[in-house]
Amino acid sequence: MAHRPFSLNFSQTRWIGGWDAASRVTSRRCGAKVGSPSLLERGRLHLEPIERDCAARARKASGTIPNSMTANFQQAGAYTALITPFHLDGRLDLERFRALVAFQLKEGIDGLVPCGTTGETPTLEWREHDKLIEIAVELSAGSRPVVAGCGSNSTEEAIDATRRAKELGVDAALLVDCYYNGPSSLELREEYYQRILDAVSELPIVPYVIPGRTGCALEAADLAILHLRAPERVPAVKEATGDLERMREDRAVAGETLQIVSGDDDMTLRMMRDEGIRASGVISVMSNLFPGAISRMLELERAGDSSGADALSESLKPVFGLVGCAIESERVLPNGKRVKSVDRFRNPLPVKTMMAGLRMCELGLRPPLGKMLAPAVERCREALIEVNRRDSSLLAPIAEHFEGGTVEERLADDARWASLARA
């Protein structure tokens, strides 16, 4: 498939500086320095090859001097918020990650976002995080922009992650608002985003506003201050508030130069068509499964073919509603009492379950994430069956790229789908 124009086109002179993957930061994710052998001693990660590969890359590139970078977001395109594949025992599956990235590039996706929240970054070691970014940069080879997830609820940790991502050659850093510790919008602006901008020169950053997951939000006025201070450094925002009025406020106070990027597949066309928002594209979850179709949908919309875009959106509608999956269930207490409950399985569980059912990856997860209940798995399967019924061409590229039989055979494999559910 011919490559379409970049969706979020960061143009920059790439560079990679030397760094020591094993000792640059303290990982609060595991409570020890990145070089700590604690997890390795338990035999879970087997990351020595990762360290050697990163170190070799750094030595090869050492001495290179960074040049100036500019950010030029176009009103176009789809980036994939890449999942992180694990083996069933929890080890990082780098071979499968490479296959997934190759699939994205072959199908004409406009850009890649490794190590976002869809990539399960809370349970990644920093050296794993950096290796995934390195692979995405390596495989894209400058043909597509790479925007690396570097956010944290620690400013110092986010600075370290952003610095290392820049050294690895990314085009920009995606920075989610600080989760759990809940800073005010003023604190987010000055004690998080601005400190990162000051500490890591030149690299563009993309604030990611998703209050449903973080419990806080960079307000439109503070976003505008960051953007208007340095449009080339803060050229865009990823909006996953679900609030169209908030997005209109972003546009009204920040002006025409801010690029507003959808963080919700099912809202993208509405955001692009809304005259008060005029979104430039999407950082998509479902493009893990449908990179070509979602890129094409946005391309049609940009070209003024709204009916064509709507037709693709309608075909994909069954999965667009499955970024999360809520299932009513029942708990049996030790005393025998039964209590109704609702289990809300959140991104990336539905998309990873669908990908595993289609044999794009194994359903490897790291606690606290685990398998969904059988009704949720069946809902995912039924959604894919419906997409395939509406337009069988949409899933066809998966059968071409990943071994495992025809799409219909994969969807009909009862044993496979049953194995993806919690027992």
* CATH label of the domain that carries residue 162: 3.20.20.70
Residue 228 φ/ψ, nearest 5 degrees? -70, -25
Same domain, 34 and 154: yes
- Which residues are registered as beta bridge partners of 207? 175
Predicted structure pTM score: 0.85
Same domain, 21 and 85: yes
User: Is 350 a member of any domain?
Assistant: yes
Same domain, 192 and 252: yes
| Residue at a domain's end among 315, 336, 358 | 315
Alpha-carbon distance of 371 to 179, in angstroms, equals 24
Residue 35: Cβ within 10 Å count: 16
Which pLDDT band holds residue 183 (cuts at 50, 70, 90)? very high
DSSP 219: -
DSSP 190: I
User: Is 5 a member of any domain?
Assistant: no
Same domain, 253 and 386: no
Same domain, 217 and 188: yes
User: Is 181 a member of any domain?
Assistant: yes
Structural domain harbouring 34: 10-315
Catalytic positions, written as ranges: 208, 238
User: Is 124 a member of any domain?
Assistant: yes
How many independent structural domains does the chain possess? 2
User: Looking up tokens 């989760």, which residue turns up?
Assistant: 179
- Residues sharing a CB contact under 8 Å with residue 406, sequence separation 6 or more, in sequence order: 399
423 vs 92 pLDDT, higher one: 92
| Residue at a domain's end among 281, 315, 349 | 315
> Whole-angstrom distance between the N-terminal and C-terminal Cα of the chain?
41
Amino acid at 378: E
Residue 75 CA to chain centroid, in angstroms?
20
Amino acid at 214: T
Same domain, 219 and 357: no
Same domain, 61 and 124: yes
Weakest mean pLDDT among 6-15, 126-135, 248-257, 284-293:
6-15
- Helix (H, G, I), strand (E, B), or coil: what is residue 342? strand
Which pLDDT band holds residue 22 (cuts at 50, 70, 90)? very low
Q: What tens digit of pLDDT does each residue of 220-245 get?
A: 999 999 999 999 999 999 999 999 99
Alpha-carbon distance of 345 to 322, in angstroms, equals 10
User: Is 78 a member of any domain?
Assistant: yes
Alpha-carbon distance of 420 to 374, in angstroms, equals 8
Weakest mean pLDDT among 21-30, 127-136, 303-312:
21-30
User: Is 390 a member of any domain?
Assistant: yes
- Helix (H, G, I), strand (E, B), or coil: what is residue 147? strand
| Residue at a domain's end among 258, 283, 315 | 315
Same domain, 308 and 336: no
Same domain, 206 and 286: yes
- The pLDDT > 90 percentage for the chain reads 81
Same domain, 303 and 161: yes
Same domain, 194 and 326: no
pLDDT of 107 above 70? yes
Alpha-carbon distance of 423 to 299, in angstroms, equals 42
User: Is 177 a member of any domain?
Assistant: yes
Please give the average per-residue pLDDT across 104-127, as a whole number: 96
